[in-house]
Structure 1
Amino acid sequence: MKAVDSASKFDQDRAGEYAQQSRIGLAGYDACHDLAACLLSVTLDSESEAQILVVGAGGTAQEIVAASKLAPNWKFTAVDPSEPMLQLSRESLASKGLEARTELHLGYVRDLRTEKKFDAATLIGVIHHLQGEDKKKEILDEIASKLKPGAPIILAGNRFDYASKPLFLSAWGELWRMNGVSKEEVESKRAKILHGADPLASNEAVIDLLGSAGFIEAEQFFSSLFWSAWIAKYNPNQSQ
């Protein structure tokens, strides 16, 4: 799948329902973002004037909202290829008085025209939408090129082939039913993720992918059915 195809999935209709839907389909959505902010805070020092690269920031901008509660001096550069999703982030940030601390860029990391290196990066809810390992490594390589040595990255997304975990897949469907979705709608959602996403095969595959882009010492800090999150740090001497 080309990068543009990944972006096109998040059209006006999907963007409009993203905030609610993500909190159901990705159980623990808010807790994951809160923990990510806490880990970055203790890694970078919440009193610092760090510059954070937020990749795939469209939708809720929850990475920025959570981190801003701990780190009043951090500035954010948010990148997303979907205009409807980026607009949602713009509205969310404005409602919380955070627009002055954030630069929003429509497009991809490779489109950023800046020489500055960032102190940290986040890639949350993106990796499983990219088809094939080459596309996944490409985005991590692009992020790595924008980071200072030793900078932490937060990576969160789905892993495991969905069909390989029937118990998890059934529980995921029940989670939707618990939130008022009919059985017929659940089946439609299940069919959509089985054919529309490409999660990494295992936890080990995630760590290997991070390592191939120069991210070392990866530690998993959150897991919820298919959804999981890691923190790692950039070592340019380890990239392949």
Structure 2
Amino acid sequence: MSSFHDATAVARYAQGPVRQVPGLHALHRMAHLLLAEHAPDDGRILVLGAGGGLELRAFANARPGWRFVGVDPYAPMLALAENTLGPLASRVEFIHGEIDAAPAGPFDGATCLLTLHFLTLEERLHALRQLRERLKPGAPLVVAHHSIAQEPEERTRWLGRYASFAAASGVAYADARRAAEGIGRRLPLLSPAQEESLLERAGFTPPELFYAAFTFRGWVARRET
């Protein structure tokens, strides 16, 4: 995304997800609880799409013994993450790059929040397989992102609801509508059934839906042993 290279856009990033993603803070709490079902108190967690640092901060505050590897392809977003974390950043290894740049692990869990919807089907499958390879047997992967039906009228209806939520949260309605239209036009959105199929093709157990909020869906799946 070109906006992640724009210094002004990056500086405003922290305001965006809270206004655009229903229940963002609850999503972070749920994600850390799902990770904690497997990860020990001194667990090591891989965060793909770590730019901005919002989920890293939530996880680090909730689990003082966890250490993290945060991967993101945009250097300005990683810098923002480090700033967001403040002293907590000492527990994070930041890596500038794609999933292939991440260390081999094995990790006690992984997350990829608000990221996979930027990738094509083939790119998602590659990322999911690489995440799986870096997890311990039975370790969870938590994902959440845009996922809506492919039928045109239904897509339009749900993207309109996304825009209405953003506007109700303080985003100018014209901006919210433009954002929704851009999402529908530019992002390679997949249906929930396609997302679940990809996770299984990548070598994960059948995913469990834990989060559904207008255009967003979230699943937890585990590396098959």
TM-score by length of 1: 0.85
Partner Cα distance (2:181, 2:155) in 1: 15
Residue of structure 1 equivalent to 2:129: 141
Seen in structure 2, the aligned counterparts of structure 1 residues 102 and 166 have a Cα distance that, compared at 3 Å, is same
TM-superposition CA deviations, 1:157-187 (whole Å, max 9, x none): 1101574333322222222322344443233
Note if contact 1:41-1:67 (Cα within 8 Å) is conserved in structure 2.
no
Secondary structure class of the residue paired with 1:98: helix
Partner Cα distance (2:100, 2:201) in 1: 18
Partner Cα distance (1:210, 1:234) in 2: 10
2:58 pairs with one of 60, 66, 81: 66
1:54 pairs with one of 47, 57, 60: 47
Aligned pairs for 1:189-208 within 5 A: 189-201=179-191, 203-208=192-197
Which runs of 4 or more aligned residues in structure 1 lie more than 6 Å from their structure 2 counterparts after TM superposition? Answer: none
Partner Cα distance (2:196, 2:170) in 1: 36
Residue of structure 2 equivalent to 1:101: 91
Seen in structure 2, the aligned counterparts of structure 1 residues 169 and 146 have a Cα distance that, compared at 3 Å, is same
TM-superposition CA deviations, 1:99-137 (whole Å, max 9, x none): 11110011112123x34311111011111011x211110
Partner Cα distance (1:9, 1:227) in 2: 21
Note if contact 1:77-1:103 (Cα within 8 Å) is conserved in structure 2.
yes
1:40 pairs with one of 6, 31, 35: 35
Seen in structure 2, the aligned counterparts of structure 1 residues 38 and 184 have a Cα distance that, compared at 3 Å, is same
Note if contact 2:106-2:134 (Cα within 8 Å) is conserved in structure 1.
yes
Seen in structure 2, the aligned counterparts of structure 1 residues 109 and 166 have a Cα distance that, compared at 3 Å, is closer
Total equivalences in the alignment: 222
2:207 pairs with one of 218, 222, 236: 218
Stretches of structure 2 that go unaligned for 5 or more consecutive residues are none
TM-superposition CA deviations, 1:176-213 (whole Å, max 9, x none): 32234444323322221122212212x22211110011
Q: 1:9: Cα distance to partner?
A: 4.3
Q: 1:67: Cα distance to partner?
A: 1.9
Residue of structure 2 equivalent to 1:22: 17
Partner Cα distance (2:104, 2:14) in 1: 33
Percent identity at matched positions?
A: 28
Stretches of structure 1 that go unaligned for 5 or more consecutive residues are 1-5
For structure 1, which segment, 66-75 or 222-231, has the greater mean C-alpha deviation from structure 2 after superposition?
66-75
TM-superposition CA deviations, 1:51-73 (whole Å, max 9, x none): 100000001x2222222233221
